[in-house]
Structure 1
Amino acid sequence: MNAVREGSPFTELLGPIYQKVDAAGLVIGLVAEEKHCNARGIVHGGLLGTLADIAMGYSAAFSTEPPTPIVTTSQTVDYVGKAEKGDWIEVHTDVQKVGRNTAFANCYFHVGSKRIARASAVFSVTAS
């Protein structure tokens, strides 16, 4: 995986975030640090929600040529496990559709072979 080079000031606070493209699509990853954890030592759900937004947004936007300008309209995250400090978290994306007005995507979070969360989002296509 390579470090994401084109981030925002906000994503710089989270990182480093890594990315690669596999046969199924974009995969992003991050090593969980203390700054990502809540008071109980578990990675905060807000971090996972943010990573979901980044992964699905990048994946949907860059699935077209030229990239489609989009903004998040709605996002849902279901937490089914946990990550802790030191864990490598991978987010695998799946773009359902990028249309003229909306785009749809899903993503799945893994720590090793264990799935810890899934997310889905709807994006609005903005004027170019």
Structure 2
Amino acid sequence: MADEVPAGFEPMEMAPFMTFVGPLYRGPGIGRFGMRVLPEHANTHGKAHGGFLATVVDVAVSRGTRMSLADGSTVSTISMTLDYLEPADIGAWLEIAATVDRVGGRTVFTSARVTVGDLWVAKASAILARHRPRS
């Protein structure tokens, strides 16, 4: 069924902005997320809108990075590059795998891939500013 969530994915508490985008789910392991492409996410061609994909990737790399750091740090996006590889249809289950590639003192370099099954929909790289908790 098109609205089913695959086994192993759980709803996440999200920032208020994400109520406009839709529910993002956390998958098993660190940095794995999923989301269903809904009609409101579509462009005029009936495919996932590029802005929607960029939003989901931005949230996934940020959340995945915070989970990976596990030290109470928050992050904010400095820059992100997103390559669109294939369109995603309405009803498709997107999986986003976010990876921390390198951690510096004040920056974190990340990458992500967006897939529908075995199909690569997009790939991204992002640089995040790291904000450590004050002691």
**TM-score, with structure 1 as normaliser:** 0.91
Instruction: State whether structure 2 residue 42 is matched by structure 1 residue 21.
Output: no
SS of equivalent residue, structure 2 residue 19: helix
Q: What is the correspondence of 1:30-109 to structure 2 with a 5 Å cutoff?
A: 30-109=35-114
Percent identity between the aligned chains?
30
SS of equivalent residue, structure 2 residue 47: coil
Contact between 1:32 and 1:88, CA under 8 Å: does it hold in 2?
A: yes
- Per the TM alignment, residue 53 of structure 1 is displaced from its structure 2 partner at its CA by 0.6
Kindly provide the amino acid, as one letter, of the partner of residue 12 in structure 1: T
- Per the TM alignment, residue 65 of structure 1 is displaced from its structure 2 partner at its CA by 2.9
Question: What is residue 3 of structure 1 aligned with on the other side?
Answer: 11
Aligned CA distance change for structure 1 residues 127 and 26 (closer, same or farther; 3 Å)? closer
Aligned CA distance change for structure 1 residues 99 and 67 (closer, same or farther; 3 Å)? farther
SS of equivalent residue, structure 2 residue 23: coil
- Per the TM alignment, residue 127 of structure 1 is displaced from its structure 2 partner at its CA by 5.2
Q: CA RMSD in A?
A: 1.2
SS of equivalent residue, structure 1 residue 14: coil
Unaligned runs of 5+ in 2: 1-8
2: distance between equivalents of 1:32 and 1:63? 26
- Per the TM alignment, residue 59 of structure 1 is displaced from its structure 2 partner at its CA by 1.1
- Per the TM alignment, residue 34 of structure 1 is displaced from its structure 2 partner at its CA by 0.5
Contact between 2:100 and 2:111, CA under 8 Å: does it hold in 1?
A: yes
Unaligned runs of 5+ in 1: none
Question: What is residue 124 of structure 1 aligned with on the other side?
Answer: 129
Detail structure 1 runs of 4+ shifted over 2 Å in the superposition.
Answer: none
CA-to-aligned-CA distance 1:38-71 (integer Å, 9 cap, x gap)? 1111110011111111111111122123232211
Contact between 1:69 and 1:127, CA under 8 Å: does it hold in 2?
A: yes
**TM-score, with structure 2 as normaliser:** 0.87
Report the count of equivalent residues.
125
